Amino acid sequence: MKKLKFILATLVISSLLFTSCDTNDDSLNLDENQDSSINYNFGSTVSRDFIGQIVDENNDPIQNATVFIGNNSSQTDSNGIFIIKNASVKSNFAYITATKAGYLQGSRSVIPTSGENNVKIMMLSATVVGTVNSGTSGNVTLPNGTKVDFDGNFKKEDGSSYSGSVSVIMHHLDPEDSNVEAKMPGMLLASDTNGEAKVLETFGMINVELLGSSGEKLQLASAATIEMPIAIGQMASSPSTIPLWHFDDVKGYWVEEGSATKVGNKYVGSVSHFSWWNCDAQFPTVHLCLTVVDSNNNPLSNVQVELAPNNQTYPRTGTSDSNGEICGLIPSNQTITMNVLDNCGNVISTSQIGPFSSNTVLPNVIATSGMVSSTTVTGTLAQCNNSNVTDGYVLLNYGNQRFVSNVTNGSFSFNTLVCNANTTFTLEGYDYVSLQTSGVINYTFVTPVTNIGNLLTCNAVTEYITYQIDNEPVDYFIGNISASSSPNGLNVSLQGATGTSSFYFYGSIFATGSYTTANFLIENSEVIIQNGVTNNVICNVSQIGAIGGYIDITFSGTYEDNSNVTHTITGVIHVIRDN
């Protein structure tokens, strides 16, 4: 079963902040390959945890991609998820690569934090966009005007000359692309011609791969001319001459080689080989770390922070790890605009920081209740027999974000910022041992804690009811559950459930939303919760599907039993509507 387990890397810090195809383990050994060729402090060897997702250009998951971190490797599952624990990396640099047939190699370089690092890589398709022939000049042009002129001289990987047709795979990355950080290789760490470490501001990137008539990899035998359009937003600030940088896919950073000249609305330059090429302004670097917390100083994970040096056009985004931490590279001696975003992409805080002349740890960034609501989503991922899942994960989808939590003896937890206009989210749990899933279940946030109780991974079970009273074992109900939505409201009932006689939920509920016991009641042999019984139990109806679809309800709160003893209760109803 372990062959199916994938590896997850960290979504920590994109280009500004931190931040082809076959790679062997030896090529990823930082100790051997990186310390001598660039004046950058990679740090000591440390052990770090990574979790992440590999997707295509449509943001759809890529299954069975092979992910490498150092000498560790694994494959992604059907959600494109990978998890790698205890990876041996440098304290100031971790290089993650992903490969799969039909795609260009994807990669990410990050400054790893001590928490669970979350990484997203968007792999680009290895689609042939044009063909040229050896012995004659030719060109390939993309719809946006990106162009490569070939002189007709090509060679094989062993250095021998090649004769025949040449298939060209080509991509251009626009700095205005909101996914540029997920698509680009590595991060914007670079080595200039003197070996000095720099952080870059990209004015556009191009990737070209050449294949012979038998599919063999080719390279230029002499040179080619590249032309890349300049983004409209950068036209005024674009210099007349700009350094060119190629990406070293062994070392995981950019290397200065040549320059490009501004001709009209394009940069034009000559290159002697193909990989990724980048037109970039360069800046001296410093490390910046920050931690995002709530008003009670609790760390907030999965919070997006944008940093934009005031002389640059486009910000770059980082996401806080499980300890609320973000670390990365920024230009030294520059004032920077820092935006904190909620998970719907809204800016909730803006401030000016810097300039910084040395490595800096900022005071905690506090997301106050006046800025945004935050909640912790907790629960237990369990198997059908109610035993805890020991090897698996839970996906949370909310707003424009997807979060992943590894489970520890079944327990999982997410921190998230809740947008005022959107309080619904979904969870989906996966068990690696039994290869079962919970399916996608709808929920509604409750602040400050959303306790969803048990999330059952049962492929064979299409509907279930669970609840937990105080710290007692979770009760679960699997059987012939009846569920309906009618002019009288919602009705969910189960007769003769194992371990109890029955379970009933009735409600004068006709739409999704949050309700008190003025609108619903819950009854079984252990508990009665209804209007007139002292309680503050709330139910959240996230979905009322059509017949054959799902009705999803969560409930939580406190109530008094017949002896006036107060208890807590949390529960989930995930049932198929019968009528």
H or E stretch at 169: strand 165-173
Separation of alpha carbons 289 and 298, rounded Å: 17
SS3 string of 484-524? Answer: EEECCEEEEEEECCCCCCEEEEEECCCCCEEECCCCEEEEE
Residues 276, 207 contacting (CB under 8 angstroms): yes
Q: Helix count (H) and strand count (E) of the chain?
A: 2, 48
The answer to whether the CB of 310 falls within 8 A of the CB of 336 is yes
Distance of CA 32 to the CA centre of its chain: 30
Strand order in the sheet with 489-495: 481-486, 489-495, 502-507, 520-524, 528-529
CA distance 560 to 579: 34
Which DSSP helix (H) or strand (E) runs through 398? strand 392-398
Per-residue confidence (pLDDT) for residue 31, from 0 to 100? 42
pLDDT score at 91: 94
The position carrying tokens 């039909």 is 102
Q: Name the burial class of residue 552, with classes exposed (0-12), middle (13-18) and buried (19+) by CB atoms within 10 angstroms of its CB.
A: buried
Q: CB 55: neighbour CB atoms within 10 A?
A: 22
Go through the domains of the chain in sequence order and give each one's CATH number. Answer: 2-122 (2.60.40.1120), 128-283 (2.60.220), 286-367 (2.60.40.10), 373-576 (2.60.40.10)
Q: Which pTM was predicted?
A: 0.72
Q: CA 125 to CA 135: how far, in whole Å?
A: 28
d(CA 336, CA 307): 6
Side-by-side strand order, sheet with 373-383 = 411-418, 373-383, 449-457
Phi and psi at residue 187, to the nearest 5° = -145, -175
424-431/441-444 β-pairing: antiparallel
Which sign, positive or negative, has the C-alpha torsion 312, 318, 324, 326? negative
- Over its C-alpha atoms, the chain yields an Rg (Å, rounded) of 27
Find, among 388, 468, 375, the residue nearest to 415 by Cα: 375
Taking a C-beta distance cutoff of 8 angstroms, is the pair 436, 381 a contact? no
Within 13 Å of residue 221, how many CA atoms lie on the same side as its CB?
16
In three-state form (DSSP H/G/I as H, E/B as E, the rest C), the secondary structure along 340-395 is: EECCCCCEEEEEEECCCCCCEECCCEEECCCCCEEEEEEEEEEECCCCECCCEEEE
pLDDT tens series, the chain, 579 aa: 222 222 222 223 333 333 333 333 333 334 444 456 899 999 999 999 999 999 999 988 898 899 999 888 888 887 889 999 999 999 999 999 999 999 999 999 999 988 888 899 999 999 999 999 999 999 999 999 999 999 999 999 999 999 999 999 999 999 999 899 999 999 999 999 999 999 999 999 999 999 999 999 999 999 999 999 999 999 999 999 999 999 999 999 999 999 999 999 999 999 999 989 999 999 998 999 999 988 888 888 888 899 988 777 788 888 888 888 998 888 999 999 999 988 777 888 899 998 999 999 999 998 876 667 888 899 999 998 889 999 889 999 887 778 888 899 999 998 888 887 788 899 999 888 777 889 889 998 888 889 988 899 986 667 888 888 888 777 777 767 899 999 999 999 987 544 445 789 999 999 999 999 999 999 987 788 998 889 999 999 999 999 999 999 999 999 998 888 999 999 899 999 999
Sign of CA dihedral 402, 405, 411, 417: negative
